Amino acid sequence: MLKHLLRTLLVWCAFISFASCSSDSDSPESQAQTTLKLELKLVPETIQVKEYKNLTVNFKELNTGFTTTRELKNTNSLTTVLPTGTYQIFVEGSIIYSDTTGSTEAKVGGAQTGVVINGTEQSKTIDIALKAGSGDLILEEVFFTGSKTPQGAMYFGDQYFKITNNTDQTLYADGMLLIQSSFMTNEKQDYSPNIMGTTFSAGAIIRIPGTGNTYPVKPGESIIIAEDAINHKEFNPSSINLSHANFQIFKEDSDDIDNPSVPKMINVFEKMVIHTQGYYAYALARMPQGMTDTTLITQNTYTYTYHLSFGGDVYPMDGTAIKIPNEWITDAVNLSVQDSFQWLVTSPAIDMGWTSVASFDGDKNRFGKAVRRRVVGKTMEGKNILKDTNNSTADFEHGVKPSLFN
C-alpha cells in the first residue's frame, strides 16, 4: 500500500513539474528574443519635419496577446528587444513641420499588422501620416464673391459655404450654428462694452436643422450650404449647379428662391446677407445641449454703442448683437479686403489672422474666386487633412478658384 502511494505521488509531482515548465515556456521571457530597430517614416516625404516631439509605439503579439509600449521623444527611431512573434503595431504622437507659412504642430499616427519579428536582429520601417484634427466641423471654403456672366455682368446667388469634417470620427451637423459677425473688418470702432475677448458678436445666425443624428458627416467629407440651391448655369453659363446642395439659406419674409428638395437652414437671428467683398467674419458654433433658439436670443442679446466720425462730426450710434461665448465656437475665419483691413472682429483665441480675395474696395477681379483652406497631407484612407491653426492668414489660400467650379 505504501509503495502504491509513493508511486502515485511521484506521478503527480512529475505532472506538476511538466505543467510548470509548459507555463514558463509560454512567457515572453522564456521565448526567443529579437532586437528590433524600428524607423517611423512620415509620408508623404514632401512634408518637412522639424521635430518629432513625441511618439508612442504600441506592440501587440497576435498569438499570445503580449503587449508592450515604448515612448519616443525628439526622435523617430527606436531600438528595443521583443519576443519573437507576429505583431500589430500602432503609432501615435505629434510632430512639428514647416511649410511656406511657418511651423505647425500636428498629430500623426500609423498602424501595421502582421509584422513578423524574428531572428537575432531585425530592422523595420513603418509609415506614419498626419492625423486629422480632433475638434469639430470647420469652414473649408467660403465662396462669397459671386461670379460674372459671359457678358461681364455681375451674378449673385451662387455663393456657398463648404463645411468639412477634419477629424477621424463621424460627426453630426445637426444644430450647428453658422454665424456672421456684427462688426466689419474694414471699419474699426471703439465699441462699448468691449466683450470680444470672451465672446463673438453675431449680427446674423442660421442653424442646421436635425434631431441630433440626422445629418452625419464622415471623416474627410463635406456639406454645402448654398445661398440659392438652384442650377445657376441656367441663368449664368459661367456659374455652377447648386441644386444638390445639402442646405439652402432661405429668407422667409423676402422674395427668395426655394428649392423644395433641399433642406432649409433655420433662421435664428436676423437675415444673413453675404457681402461680395468679404468684410465680415464667419464662425461655426454649437449651443449647449438643450438650449433652444429662443433661449439663445433671450439670454445673449446685448446692445453696444460707439461714436461714428464723419465729415468732422461725431454721431452717437448703437446696435444689437447676440453674444456667442468663444468656447462654443468650433471654427472662425476673418474676411476682409487687402488694402482696407483694419482689425480682427474675433478674439485671437479663435482666429489670429485674416484672409481675402479683393485687393481693394470694388476690385472687379474678385468675382469667381474664393478662400479655401490649405491641404497639408492625406490620411491613411486618402482623405485630405486641412490646415487648422486658428490663423486664417496661414490656414487659407486666398483668391483661388472655388472647388465646386472645377
Tens digits of per-residue pLDDT, 243-274?
A: 999 999 999 878 899 999 999 999 999 999 99
> Quick check: is 143 in a domain?
yes
Asked if pLDDT for residue 132 goes beyond 70, the answer is no
Cα-Cα-Cα-Cα dihedral sign, residues 109, 115, 119, 125:
negative
Mean model confidence pLDDT for the chain: 89
Assess whether pLDDT exceeds 90 at residue 29. Answer: no
Contact 286, 175 (CB under 8 A): yes
Q: Which domain holds residue 319?
A: 137-405
Instruction: Tell me the range of 115-129, 287-301, 338-352 where mean pLDDT is highest.
Output: 287-301
Query: Which CATH number is 107's domain given?
Result: 2.60.40.2100
pLDDT of residue 3: 45
- 144 & 121 share domain: no
Within this chain, do residues 145 and 122 fall inside the same structural domain, yes or no? no
pLDDT score of 111 = 74
> In 244-356, where do the E strands start and end?
247-248, 266-269, 281-285, 301-310, 313-325, 329-336, 355-356
Residues 143 and 48 in one domain: no
Q: Which residue has the higher pLDDT, 105 or 263?
A: 263
Q: What is the C-alpha to C-alpha distance for residues 140 and 161, in angstroms, rounded to an integer?
A: 8
User: Does residue 211 sit in the same domain as residue 360?
Assistant: yes
- The answer to whether residue 339 sits within a structural domain is yes
229 shares a domain with 345 = yes
Residue appearing with cell numbers 503580449: 66
Give the per-residue pLDDT at 133: 52
- Nearest to 236, CA basis, from 142, 145, 154: 154
pLDDT of residue 362: 93
Residue where one domain finishes, among candidates 78, 95, 130: 130
Q: Are residues 55 and 183 in the same domain?
A: no
Q: With beta carbons less than 8 A apart as the criterion, state whether 59 and 78 touch.
A: no
In the predicted structure, residue 129 carries a pLDDT above the cut 80: no
State mean pLDDT over 349-376.
Answer: 94
Direct distance between the N- and C-terminal alpha carbons of the chain, in angstroms, rounded to an integer: 96
Residue 196: band (very low, low, confident or very high) from pLDDT cuts 50, 70, 90: confident
* Amino acid 318: pLDDT: 97
**Residues 67 and 126 both lie in one domain:** yes
What confidence score (pLDDT) does residue 8 get?
Answer: 43
Q: For CA atoms 404, 400, 201, 347, give the dihedral sign.
A: positive
Contacts of 312 (CB under 8 A, 6+ apart): none
Predicted pLDDT of residue 379: 82
**Nearest C-alpha neighbor of 132 from the set 38, 222, 259:** 222
pLDDT tens digits along 387-400: 998 889 989 999 99
User: Mean of the pLDDT values across residues 85-102?
Assistant: 85
The amino acid present at 326, given as its one-letter code, is N
94 within 8 A of 131, measured Cβ to Cβ:
no
What pLDDT score does 377 carry? 85
Give the mean pLDDT of 203-220: 97
Q: Which of 276, 300, 318 is nearest to 142 (CA)?
A: 276
pLDDT value at position 9? 42
Number of independent structural domains in the chain: 2
Domain boundary among 76, 95, 130: 130
At 30, the pLDDT band (50, 70, 90 cuts) reads low
| Judgement on whether residues 292 and 169 belong to the same structural domain of the protein | yes
Sign of CA dihedral 136, 394, 277, 309: positive
| Domain co-membership, 233 together with 187 | yes
Please give the Cα distance from 88 to 108 (Å, whole number): 17
CB crowding 307-344: b at 16 or more within 10 Å, else e: eeeeeeeeeeeeeebbbbebebbbbbbbbbbbebbebb
* pLDDT given for residue 219 in this prediction: 94
Q: Are 305 and 189 in contact (CB under 8 A)?
A: no
| Nine-digit cell string for 128 | 506614419
Given a cut of 70, whether residue 189 has pLDDT beyond it is: yes
* Residue 102 pLDDT level (bands cut at 50, 70, 90): confident
- Domain end among 83, 108, 130: 130
Is residue 114 located within the same domain as residue 204? no
Q: Both 295 and 379 in a single domain?
A: yes
Task: For residue 19, tell me if it sits in a domain.
Answer: no
**295 and 399, same domain (yes or no):** yes
Q: How high is the pLDDT of residue 147?
A: 97
Query: Is 9 part of a structural domain of the chain?
Result: no
- Phi, psi values for residue 114, rounded to 5°: 70, 30
pLDDT of residue 182: 98
Residue 8 domain flag: no
